[in-house]
Amino acid sequence: MQPSLVTVDGQELALSRKDAALLALLAVEGACAKDHVAAMLWPDADSRRSRLSLRQRRFRLARAAGVPVVVGEDTLRLNSAVISPLQVGGEPGDEPPETELLGSQPFDDCPDFLRWLQGARPAWRRRITARLEQHADQLEAEGRLVEALALARRLAEDEPLSDRAHRRLIWLLYLQGDLGRALGEYKAFCDRLAEELGELPDDATGELVARIRLGEFSDAAARTTPGDQPWRPPFVGRDAEMAALQQAWVERRPMLVEGMPGIGKTRLIGEALRAQPALCCLHVPVFAGERHRPHAVLARLLTNLWLGPQALRPDGHRALPDWARRELAALLPELHAQAPAEVRPLGLQRALECALAQAGPDLVVIDDLQEADQATLDLLPALSRPGLPPWWLVCRQGERPAEIETWLQSSPAPQVIELLPLDQAAVGQLLAHASPGTTRASSAESILRSSGGVTFLVVELIKAMSEGRAPEDDGTPQGAAHFIRSREASLEPTARQMAHTAAVLRAPLTAAAAAAIWDTDVAPWQSALRQLEAVHWVDAQARMHDLVASALYDALPLAERRALHARLAAWMEREGRPPADAAQHHEAAGQNAQAAPLFERAAAEAARACRVAEQARFQRSAAEAWLACGRHDESFRALRASVDPLLMGLGAEVAQPVADLMLAQARGPLQHVQAHIALAELDNHRGRYLEAEARVVQVMPIAQSLQDANACIQLGAHRAYALVSLSRLSEATEILAQLEPLLDQATALTRKEYVEAQAVVCWRSGQLSRCADYTQTALDLLLAGGHWGSALVQASNLAGIQAQRGRFRQADEMLQGSLAWREMLGPLEGHTVAGLDTVRAWVDIGLGRGVEALAVMRRALGFYARATELDRIAAHATETLARIHLSLGQVLEARAVHAPLAAVQQPVQGTRSWLVAAAIASASGGDPQPALDRAASWAAQASDNRLLLLRVAAERLCCGGTHASPADLAQVEQQARDCEQDALAARVAWHHVGVLLTRGEAAPAAELALRLLDDPGWAEDILPCHWQWLGALALQAVADPQAAVWQQQAQTALARSREGLPPAQQPAQAWPRFAHLAGTPRA
């Protein structure tokens, strides 16, 4: 536009180039020295001539305008009557000002002015933009949406890459009731950013579009005539579900809303929130493809909490402790200048708890949970505790993540609401609302049959009927699918091609991606995507609705479907997408030879992250793909590689069919041996020790004839483990000695299996020092090979050995030292985490940390909630939890937990189970003798039963209470120390102290107590506060000055053990077994 000056009477006067420059300079600067202005505009003239030129310009402007435009002598400024572009545009009919200062006017002959102009333009642009935005806000508030939309378009055109400008345009289009054009603008903006910058819109823009689709702004009604507004279906048929959500809100319970695609899950949540206008809700949508981006959902949660344009608590992170912001900066680096290089899961969990507690939202909603990343899912149960906001989760039916399935088996678990299809009455209500006065019962019945009651399809069919294009009713739910396919015929060819591609991809498909897939220009795909958005087949994130995708996919000819899968697989490989995604498309295309190596790559990536269940799944897929293309050896190898991760991730029951399949597919003697090795390992895990030994005896001659050192050692190690579990220690020791000469020929992992077997033998025979040496060797082999997950297990085993020796503090230090490995690996799974948690809980209770021990142990047992049998790890975990309850004085809880152990049928586990039953009977005032007799009977069935008989003898004395013989107690203590069972020895010794005090023998009691208090080996099954209390009593009986010190330590330890427990579950001050010594009633 030509710069101009508009007079009071409306006459527009064109400005010359330097007149415009003069006025622009004064409008921007406000005031300027006369000599400086003259020198800038007439640089080639001397000062006298330049001042003369300036005076002439001022005179001509005043004559043309009728008033002086520029005033002042030495300092020039605009007349106060002159209105600059920053002040116009506030009234109807006003032309909005130019954003670019002086447009494209050339000023090459005025270099100083040109430099000023180039520096002034950005600030001018910002000021004009701010003025236009302010005016647009005013227009919107006044309901002048047409004018506001025109300004919004102008702003978006001026700044084609501005998120802020396009958010305003999308919002105003939505307010006018034009959802299709709003989403079209969003898509065009996405394409422009991708093409020019290789970026996506910012989170604020994506969040706005997501919230528009969620219906959060339904109350911001469009300000157009009623006839122009699109039909918004009423919310019908969900009274019971709404009542359940309202009750859940009152009780602050977590909820899981499930239903098939299109059933109305998101709408239900939105309506429930609108029914509670005062509720402060943090909404976190999950987008397709995010399951492969660890912590993506948690990062969006934090953004929506503090940093987004609609942030719940803007800048609230500044109030967090420094440590919490530093931990969270691993997800959002802007939170702290010293962001850690890697996410530390345990630290992240604590920081998230702190953040949610500080921000205080009433509720957190996660939509499309099935797309969430596993790292987020692993943390959800831990973040659902008293004091934190409840979670409402929305998930597609049939796609519930395994982590949520496990959570549902624990307590407290989310309540599940399953959304069912609409009934005929609800369909009739929708139909009556859309077409008042013309509804017939037969129409509602017809729509119900064709849609199956799926809300999305019901609405589509009602729209079609109102537009006179209803599909022919075939009386089946498939009628809706026919309708979708019939609409396809009205699409342009490129839009149909894009729809088919999206239906096969089942992930967001942008125009840029479509162009890359088909190797063409992006422009036709942008138009195609806008057409798909217009018919509501794809959403704002370019994700096709599942029902539409299913209908289109099912209708594709097999040849076209396979060709599309092949094309998508090739594109994914070029783009460096996750190998599992490309593999699945290769597999669907029938290209199994290309799919199998990609599945194995995906398994290797999962193994490096210690995601064992995922690793097993990909290995199994690789095995199936290799088999499909006739590569039997590769298929067997992949099957074999899936057994161990399946065992550690999902348990022996799940791994068993895979090992059976290995045996069925085995070709040749070596594969048969390898299949039996896997089966023997599973036999041991399932407690089938006799079967494991028989299997090894049968197969070992074949392995020996093959002269395969690795197979022979693995078989021997599994047999040794079975024999140890059958208490045949001498035979196990002999077998391992025979295998030792083969170690030089074995791989590092096979040698690791050998030393693990030696460690187990030493453990069961009471040689804990040697057991620790073998375990350390296994740990060194694993670290050298970079097997961090297995190394973590061995470090935990070392901690368990220290706990057996009563060195609970040293065990705790070992576990703390291995936290770096655990945090590096991220959340673990299955048997791995259950075994680690069992050791962690036993160390915690040995240190008196009651609430921590219970929480960790319950989490460990949650893995076994759906198991049909107790394997060895599950039995050990169950026994551990029962003993923790007993230590805390929670006898009823211990009895309930212990009940499943009655089914155990092996000597070692049977003995230990009945010893716990005896302790429960004694603690509850019952007769422990029957359980002790059963324990002795099981111990007698073992051949090498020295340790088992020692434990039976110790339990008899401890259950005997004050009637036990001091000489017998001293004898059993010494036997335990000879076997390096120092924690058991300390337990017996503290009972000895109590018996001596009861008998009035204060001096020997004090002498023994002093020795125990100085001993680094602490007692098992007794809280530190209780043995410290008893020690203080013994010292007090002989007036020892240390009595007060230990009494204070006992009080401190008691407070620590009670911390976090409900009053009814807190341990008593006095050790219940010897409470009479304090003159208090026995608990």
Asked if 494 and 528 count as a contact pair (C-beta separation under 8 A), the reply is: yes
Which pLDDT score is estimated for 1006?
Answer: 95
Provide the pLDDT for residue 40: 86
Distance CA 1039, CA 1033 (A): 10
Instruction: State whether 147 and 278 are in the same domain.
Output: no
Q: Are 301 and 355 in the same domain?
A: yes
The pLDDT assigned to 900 comes to 81
What is the model's pLDDT at position 185?
A: 84
On the question of pLDDT at 563 being above 90, the answer is yes
Q: Are strands 70-71 and 281-285 parallel, antiparallel or unpaired?
A: unpaired
User: Same structural domain for residues 402 and 429?
Assistant: no
Say if residue 817 is exposed, middle or buried (CB neighbours under 10 Å; 0-12, 13-18, 19+).
exposed
pLDDT given for residue 839 in this prediction: 92
At 138, phi and psi to the nearest 5?
-65, -45
**Measured between alpha carbons, how far is 375 from 301 in angstroms, rounded to an integer?**
14
pLDDT for position 99: 62
Quick one: which of 332, 265, 269 has its CA closest to 295?
A: 332
Task: Report the number of distinct structural domains present in the chain.
Answer: 4
- CB-based contacts of 634, cutoff 8 Å, min separation 6: 596, 622, 626
Structural domain ending residue among the three candidates 450, 474, 498? 474
Q: What is the mean pLDDT of residues 751-765?
A: 89
- For residue 693, name the pLDDT band (cuts at 50, 70, 90): very high
One-letter amino acid at 658 equals: V
Highest mean pLDDT among 261-265, 412-416, 479-483, 829-833: 412-416
Domain boundary among 439, 457, 474: 474
Instruction: Give the residue, 354 or 1081, on which the prediction is more confident.
Output: 354
**Co-location of 387 and 437 in the same domain:** no
Angle in degrees, CA 497, 455, 437, rounded to 5: 115
Same domain, 9 and 153: yes
753 in a domain, yes or no? no
pLDDT reading at 104 higher than 80: no
**What is the pLDDT at residue 243?**
92
Q: Give the pLDDT confidence score for residue 157 in this predicted structure.
A: 85
Contacts of range 703-712, beta carbons closer than 8 Å, 24 or more positions apart: 703/673, 705/669, 706/669, 706/670, 706/673, 708/670, 708/673, 709/742, 709/745, 709/746, 709/750, 710/745, 710/746, 710/747, 710/750, 711/670, 711/673, 711/674, 711/677, 712/739, 712/742
Q: Does residue 479 carry a pLDDT above 60?
A: no
Residue 120: per-residue pLDDT: 76
Residues 116, 65 share a domain: yes
Residue 387 maps to a domain: yes
Query: Which residues fall within 8 angstroms of residue 91, CB to CB, at 6 or more apart?
Result: none
Same domain membership, residue 369 and residue 430: no
**AA letter at 301:** L
Domain boundary among 143, 159, 175: 159
- Taking residue 963's Cβ as centre, other Cβ atoms within 10 Å add up to 9
Does any domain span residue 258? yes
Q: How many other CB atoms sit within 10 Å of the CB of residue 999?
A: 12
For 265-294, the pLDDT digits (tens) are 888 988 888 887 777 888 888 876 677 677
pLDDT band at 554 (very low <50, low <70, confident <90, very high): confident
* Cβ proximity of 801 and 772 under 8 Å: yes
The answer to whether position 538 is within a domain reads no
pLDDT at 315: 83
pLDDT of residue 916: 92
Same domain, 304 and 396: yes
Answer with the residue of higher pLDDT: 280 or 715: 715
Q: Is the dihedral of CA 204, 205, 206, 212 positive or negative?
A: positive
Length of the chain: 1083
Say if residue 410 is in the same domain as residue 443. Answer: no
Q: What is the C-alpha separation between 943 and 734, in angstroms, rounded?
A: 15
> Using one digit for the tens of pLDDT, what is the confidence trace for 599-638?
999 888 877 766 777 788 899 999 999 999 999 999 999 9
pLDDT at 477: 42
Q: Whose structure tokens read 């040689």?
A: 767
Burial call 1035-1051: b when 16+ CB within 10 Å, e when fewer: bbbeebeebeebbebbe
Q: What is the pLDDT of residue 1017?
A: 92
Residue 1049 has pLDDT above 80, yes or no: yes
Is residue 1053 very low, low, confident or very high in pLDDT (cuts 50, 70, 90)? Answer: very high
**Region 989-1013 average pLDDT:** 94
985 vs 981: CA distance, rounded Å: 6
> Residue 971: its pLDDT value, please?
95
Tell me what pLDDT residue 882 has. 93
Per-residue pLDDT, 619: 92
Can you give the pLDDT at residue 631? 93
pLDDT at 98: 64
In this prediction, residue 223 has a pLDDT band, given cuts at 50, 70 and 90, of very low
Residue 435: which domain range? 424-474
Find the mean pLDDT for residues 844-866: 82
One domain, residues 354 and 384: yes
Q: Is residue 574 part of a domain?
A: no
Instruction: Report how far Cα 555 is from the mean position of its chain's Cα atoms.
Output: 36
pLDDT at 964 over 80: yes
Closest CA to 471 of 492, 493, 450: 450
Q: Which amino acid is at 543?
A: R
d(CA 118, CA 554): 59
Model confidence at 868: pLDDT above 70: no
Whether residue 869 has pLDDT greater than 60: no
Q: What is the pLDDT of residue 621?
A: 92
Instruction: Considering only residues 342 and 750, tell me which one the structure prediction assigns the higher pLDDT.
Output: 750
The CA distances from residue 562 to 80, 858, 1029, in Å, are 74, 47, 75
Residue 371 lies in a domain: yes
Q: To the nearest whole number, what is the mean pLDDT of the chain?
A: 83
Residues 6 or more apart whose CB falls under 8 angstroms from that of 395 comprise: 256, 257, 258, 265, 368, 369, 370, 401, 404
Which letter, b or e, does each residue of 559-588 get, where b requires 16 or more Cβ atoms within 10 Å of its Cβ?
A: eebbebbbbbbbbbbeeebbbbbbbbbbbb
pLDDT score recorded for residue 571:
94
What is the tens place of the pLDDT at every residue in 488-499? 777 888 999 999
Task: Look at residue 93 and tell me whether its pLDDT is greater than 80.
Answer: no
Cα–Cα distance list, 291 to 199, 210, 369, 377, 580 (Å)? 20, 18, 10, 10, 12
Pick from 637, 669, 675, 672: nearest CA to 657:
675
**Of the candidate ranges 86-95, 387-396, 642-651, 702-711, the one whose mean pLDDT is the lowest:** 86-95
Cα gap 218→195, rounded to integer Å? 33
Model confidence band, residue 970 (pLDDT cutoffs 50, 70, 90) = very high
**Type of residue at 897:** V
Centre a 10 Å sphere on the Cβ of residue 630 and count the other Cβ atoms it contains: 10
Most confident of 212-226, 321-335, 429-443: 321-335
Give the C-alpha separation, 828 to 328, whole Å.
Answer: 20
Instruction: Identify the band that residue 991 occupies on the pLDDT scale cut at 50, 70 and 90.
Output: very high
**C-alpha span between 539 and 160 (Å, rounded):** 22
As a whole number, mean pLDDT of residues 12-40 equals 81
Reply yes or no on whether the pLDDT at 870 is more than 70.
Answer: no
Task: Give percent above pLDDT 70 in the chain.
Answer: 87
DSSP states of 78-111: E-TTPPPGGG---STTPPPPPSSTTTT---TT-H
Q: What angle do CA 287, 289, 291 make, to 5 degrees?
A: 95
* Per-residue pLDDT at 224: 40
Q: Are 398 and 263 members of one domain?
A: yes
Residue 12 shares a structural domain with residue 69: yes
pLDDT attached to residue 72: 81
Q: For residues 306 and 356, give the distance between their C-alpha atoms in angstroms, rounded to a whole number.
A: 11
What is the C-alpha radius of gyration for the chain, rounded to an integer number of angstroms? 38
pLDDT at 229 over 80: no
- What is the percentage of the chain residues whose pLDDT exceeds 90? 34
Contact 271, 290 (CB under 8 A): no
Note whether residue 506 is domain-resident. no
Residue 319 lies in a domain: yes
Return the CATH number at 413.
3.40.50
